[in-house]
């Protein structure tokens, strides 16, 4: 048992959670030590900490996942304790044990508890023994493909194939038909092996439209255990949480107490100490089943803090120092409702492809009853090395309806320019009538057409904004009114937005009547005419009416590759508008014969031999970026020639391979 005052705290993490831990530690008078990779030398957590220590190159395996480097950093900086945050080594039993062996406090549970709950197969067995409901399935030692297929066919479909180690949705596959099974098992095993170094799997019966509900538990070294209500995390895409809230809407008090009691039983079954989360699937009939236990603080912990008025980081530190829990179960009374959304560097209109780039502007004018945990500042470089989560937006209200209103207001007052993100997508979800009506379940996004491609509705507004801003800049006029009054002829230019080309014709002959005309057409399509009025411009915003509807664009302009670019945000959705060079070759002239990197990343594997014949749609290689694996497919049939090697780091736009059509090879 630890019984020591912590005065120097090393944070074995990065990003918004590192900044979050620093904030509480500073309030407690504790000196903080940031660790950073070479890619994170200028990161916000490094700027905010009292001290910092470089632990290695950009690759996480050589820095944030390097146990020896972190132990050395803790020793060199004389740290009393290490806080692992979440992700990285937060649920690594070997890391917890290494710290214990070096007499450094690990702010988390014991290595034994981490090892037990981190292995889903062992954890499920332990829960069955403790009398906690679990889903029917297979969690045995025989991991042979044929045996797993046999077990699954015996269970019947649908089933869930799950990695026995790790979490975060990786190594999980939903299988609805027998002919999908072998491929799903092999794919899940490969992803689990790459992500966690353990390819073992388990099979579970899949529920139809369940809810994902989790309970926050806390235990001290004196044997006291409490739970701090539950959170609903049902809004998920690819098994990754998107929206979280507390308390879970629509749950009766009997179910709420039963969930809390089961969570405490799970914690007590492994002599748990510290913060943990017990996750359940809740069926439509009100029955719930143990899913897993996360032996760390959760990304969504702020909604629990908002509802219970506590600081869970401060609780973690107190427990690590050997103090009793700050509150007993009877003293923990929830108040109001809270929601959280996760701001990611991703492009919802391109199947949520991770995005990289330099932040041109970050503004988050904090609204009442809201909070933002983030890692952003103007000039920050979002790289391909780490997880794409950039920030969390949290809002509280006396009721769920009030919390939703505060959340949407905060989203509307948050601007991120220079890198693609999902802010508008998040706004669409939380403002959806079904979400407002509490009709949440794990298939919510798929049911409402929000699971794969999300097309922002403000693209015409973005083209208007880009045309107006470009016209003003090219005429060097101090005001848009002066510029437009001197427009003697229509201006026509081509813009590229979200990989689409648009022809825009700006005509101000009617400006004296208080309106101008803008014709917009996708290349090769018929133009649509828009009337633009009520134009006002500031250094950061352009406001106007388009066909009598109000529009507001946050903007900034840059020059990239000798072309004018405008970073725009409308309705929370980001747009990059670029003037098309009329002398450049047609964008489609060589697209069918080249496969280019959609973003910065690393070539993980070449799947075909160089020079072999492939068919259109065949996967040529796997590119990894921001902890995601992306298959790069052939755009036509022919003979492949690779321009990259396995393990190579490539930049966005880099030509990975070319395809020579079969008829050309034959000639």
DSSP 581-648: PTTSPPTTTTGGGEEE-SSSEEEEEE-S-TT-EE-TT-EEEEEEETTEEEEEE-SSSEEEEESS-TT-
**CB–CB of 551/537 below 8 Å?**
no
Residue 516, pLDDT score: 84
Residue 667, pLDDT score: 41
Average pLDDT over every residue of 125-131: 90
C-alpha separations of 191 from 184, 205, 587, 622 in Å:
10, 21, 35, 12
Kindly indicate the confidence band of residue 196, based on its pLDDT and cuts at 50, 70 and 90.
confident
Q: Is the pLDDT of residue 351 over 90?
A: no
Residue 486, pLDDT score: 62
Residue 660, pLDDT score: 86
Comparing 55-64, 134-143, 451-460, 511-520, the range with the smallest average pLDDT is 511-520
- Which domains, and CATH codes, for the chain? 8-107 (3.40.50.20), 110-130+212-334 (3.30.470.20), 136-205 (3.30.1490.20), 336-447 (3.30.470.20), 459-579 (3.30.700), 591-666 (2.40.50.100)
Kindly indicate the confidence band of residue 653, based on its pLDDT and cuts at 50, 70 and 90.
confident
Kindly indicate the confidence band of residue 587, based on its pLDDT and cuts at 50, 70 and 90.
very low
Kindly indicate the confidence band of residue 559, based on its pLDDT and cuts at 50, 70 and 90.
low
Q: In this structure, what are the phi and psi dihedrals at residue 508, rounded to the nearest 5 degrees?
A: -110, 25
Average pLDDT over every residue of 367-375: 97
Q: Is the pLDDT of residue 165 over 70?
A: yes
Mean pLDDT of the chain: 89
CA-closest candidate to residue 166, choices 281, 73, 303, 65: 65
* Rounded distance between C-alpha atoms, residue 38 and residue 660, angstroms: 40
Residue 482, pLDDT score: 62
Which residue do the tokens 């923990």 mark?
332
Kindly indicate the confidence band of residue 523, based on its pLDDT and cuts at 50, 70 and 90.
confident
Helices (H), 142-275: 145-155, 181-196, 253-269
Residue 590, pLDDT score: 40
Which residue do the tokens 């988050």 mark?
364
pLDDT 10s digits, 200-210: 898 988 888 89
Comparing 72-86, 253-267, 344-358, 500-514, the range with the smallest average pLDDT is 500-514
Kindly indicate the confidence band of residue 61, based on its pLDDT and cuts at 50, 70 and 90.
very high
Query: Sheet harboring 8-11: ordered strands across?
Result: 51-56, 31-37, 8-11, 81-83, 105-106
Q: In this structure, what are the phi and psi dihedrals at residue 263, rounded to the nearest 5 degrees?
A: -65, -40
- Provide the CA 88 distance to its chain's centre, in angstroms: 15
Average pLDDT over every residue of 521-536: 86
What letter would DSSP give residue 391?
E
* Rounded distance between C-alpha atoms, residue 575 and residue 573, angstroms: 7
C-alpha separations of 382 from 6, 365, 655 in Å:
33, 21, 22
Residue 487, pLDDT score: 64
More confident residue, 36 or 349: 36
* Rounded distance between C-alpha atoms, residue 522 and residue 502, angstroms: 4
Average pLDDT over every residue of 572-592: 66
Extract the tokens encoding 397.
């209200």
Residue 86, pLDDT score: 95
Average pLDDT over every residue of 371-392: 95
Q: Is 101 exposed, middle or buried (0-12, 13-18, 19+ CB in 10 A)?
A: exposed
Among 189, 296, 371, 427, the active-site one is: 296
Residue 510, pLDDT score: 54
pLDDT 10s digits, 86-101: 999 999 999 999 999 9
What is 166-189 written as a DSSP string?
--TTTTEEEE-SGGGHHHHHHHHH
Residue 591, pLDDT score: 39
Kindly indicate the confidence band of residue 38, based on its pLDDT and cuts at 50, 70 and 90.
very high
296 in catalytic set: yes
Comparing 227-241, 556-570, 606-620, the range with the smallest average pLDDT is 556-570
- Provide the CA 389 distance to its chain's centre, in angstroms: 4
């Amino acid at each position: 048992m630890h019984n020591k005052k912590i005065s120097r705290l090393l944070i074995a993490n990065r990003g918004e959670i590192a900044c979050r831990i620093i904030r509480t530690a500073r309030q407690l008078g504790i000196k903080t030590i940031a660790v950073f990779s070479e890619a994170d030398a200028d990161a916000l957590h490094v700027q905010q900490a009292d001290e910092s220590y470089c632990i290695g190159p950009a690759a996480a395996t050589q820095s944030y996942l390097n146990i020896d480097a972190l132990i050395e950093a803790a020793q060199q900086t004389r740290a009393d304790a290490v806080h692992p945050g979440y992700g990285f080594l937060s649920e690594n039993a070997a890391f917890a044990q290494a710290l214990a062996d070096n007499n450094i406090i690990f702010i988390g549970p014991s290595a034994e508890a981490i090892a037990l709950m981190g292995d889903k197969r062992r954890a499920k067995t332990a829960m069955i023994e403790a009398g906690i409901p679990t889903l029917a399935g297979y969690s045995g030692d025989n991991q042979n493909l044929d045996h797993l297929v046999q077990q699954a066919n015996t269970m019947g479909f649908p089933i869930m194939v799950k990695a026995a180690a790790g979490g975060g949705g990786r190594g999980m596959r939903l299988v609805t038909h027998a002919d999908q099974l072998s491929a799903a098992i092999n794919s899940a095993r490969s992803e689990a092996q790459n992500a966690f170094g353990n390819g073992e799997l388990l099979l579970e019966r899949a529920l139809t439209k369940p809810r994902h509900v989790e309970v926050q538990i806390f235990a001290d070294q004196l044997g006291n255990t409490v739970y701090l209500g539950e959170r609903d995390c049902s809004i998920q895409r690819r098994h990754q949480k998107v929206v979280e809230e507390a308390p879970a809407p629509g749950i009766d008090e009997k179910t709420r107490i039963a969930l809390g009691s089961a969570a405490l039983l799970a914690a007590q079954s492994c002599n748990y100490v510290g913060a943990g989360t017990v996750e359940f699937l809740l069926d439509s009939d009100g029955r719930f089943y143990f899913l897993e236990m996360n032996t760390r603080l959760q990304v969504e912990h702020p909604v629990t803090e908002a509802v219970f008025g506590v600081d869970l980081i401060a609780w973690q530190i107190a427990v690590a120092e050997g103090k009793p829990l700050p509150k007993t179960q009877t003293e923990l009374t929830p108040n109001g409702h809270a929601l959280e959304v996760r701001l990611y560097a991703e492009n919802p209109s391109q199947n949520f492809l991770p995005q990289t780039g330099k932040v041109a502007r970050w503004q988050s004018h904090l609204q009442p009853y809201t909070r933002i945990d983030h890692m952003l500042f103007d000039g920050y470089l979002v790289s391909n090395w780490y997880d794409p989560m950039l920030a969390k937006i949290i809002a509280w209200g006396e009721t769920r309806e009030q919390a939703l209103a505060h959340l949407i207001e905060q989203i509307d007052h948050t601007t991120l320019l220079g890198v693609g993100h999902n802010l508008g997508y998040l706004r669409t979800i939380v403002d959806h009538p079904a979400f407002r009506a509490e009709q949440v379940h794990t298939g919510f996004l798929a049911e409402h057409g929000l699971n794969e491609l999300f097309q922002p509705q403000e693209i015409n507004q973005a083209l208007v904004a880009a045309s107006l801003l470009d016209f003003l800049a090219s005429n060097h006029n101090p005001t848009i009114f002066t510029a437009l009054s001197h427009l003697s002829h229509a201006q026509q230019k081509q813009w590229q937005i979200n990989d689409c080309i648009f022809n825009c014709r700006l005509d101000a002959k009617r400006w004296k009547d208080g309106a101008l005309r803008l014709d917009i057409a996708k290349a090769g399509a018929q133009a649509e005419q828009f009337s633009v009025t009520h134009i006002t411009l500031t250094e950061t915003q352009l406001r106007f009416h388009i066909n009598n509807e109000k529009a507001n664009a946050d903007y900034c302009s840059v020059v990239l590759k000798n072309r004018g670019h405008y970073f725009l945000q409308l309705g929370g959705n980001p747009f990059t508008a670029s003037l098309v060079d009329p002398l450049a070759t047609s964008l489609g002239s060589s697209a069918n014969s080249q496969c280019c990197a959609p973003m910065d990343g690393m070539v993980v594997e070449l799947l075909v031999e160089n020079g072999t014949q492939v068919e259109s749609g065949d996967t040529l290689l796997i590119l990894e970026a921001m902890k995601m694996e992306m298959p790069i497919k052939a755009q036509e049939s022919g003979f492949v020639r690779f321009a990259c090697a396995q393990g190579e780091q490539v930049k966005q736009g880099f030509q990975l391979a070319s395809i020579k059509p079969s008829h050309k090879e034959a000639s």
